[in-house]
Structure 1
Amino acid sequence: MRRNNVRRRRKLESNLGETVRIASIVQKGVDTGRSSYVEMRALARTTNRNLRPKVRAILELLKGDEAIKGLPAEMSEGYTEVLTPNGNVRQDKLDSLLSIDGDIVTCLGIIESELKNRSAPSESLKALKDLVQERKKFVAALRA
């Protein structure tokens, strides 16, 4: 049992270290106005990896809402599209994408809290679904 706790803690520390590294790379890209597709794909992977446990916890409480199930994969899309072909970061697009993602994560936290308190998260779920649709439209516009 103790060995599993050590492994879990090391994995969490590793994930935290990766998140900090990616945040540093993104901040450098914001400061310089340049980034790479490799860095943006790493940001997408980190986003996906960090969202999966929260979504899994909510799905257990909701008994499998299909709208939330694919959320981590959907939220990992769009980061490479904020780059121009020569590697310049379209700052306004990145800011908008990160803002929507922040709203989605906040909404997930509210839903999880409501479910744990045994209240119906119908309004929060509707808000989440609206935010996800807004994000899909935004990413589609980036690709166009």
Structure 2
Amino acid sequence: MISFLLLAFFIPISYAGKECVWIMGRVQCEHDPTKNLNVEVRVWDRDSFGPFKLIDPDDLMGVTFSTEDGRFQLDGCGDDFDWIPGLSNKPEPYVEIRHYCNSDLGETITLPQFNVFVPKTHELGVIILDRPEKQEKRNQ
């Protein structure tokens, strides 16, 4: 009986809020269009911040590379544990774009977190790699 109660108590903790994403967009290097090809696009599930990232790093949900004209389609799934029974903990997806438009050393653009899940598609539109946007975080 005690083992049944322990099992019943821990089952809700083991459930996870699993969600999938579909992402479409296009990258554009205006000063050198040949660099539109093979731009790496990744979608991550943010799990924690600051020093907690060492314990619980972000999870890779999916990765793809752009076509010659800069287009890409990406899908992936992520899940987070529901630590509090009855309170759903959905993934917090965000996109990173690794490109060589501005430098041979490469640059990573991190786009803001979004909450668009399948069956809807998260449309990123055209992302100009030459110019930073206000909502983007860029790392070299």
TM-score category of the 2 structures, normalised to the smaller one: under 0.3
Bigger relative contact order, structure 1 or 2, given CA contacts below 8 A and separation 6+? 2
Of Structure 1 and Structure 2, which has the larger fraction of its residues in helix?
Answer: 1
Of Structure 1 and Structure 2, which has the larger fraction of its residues in strand?
Answer: 2
Point out the structure with max Rg over C-alpha. 2
- With normalisation by structure 2, the TM-score equals 0.26
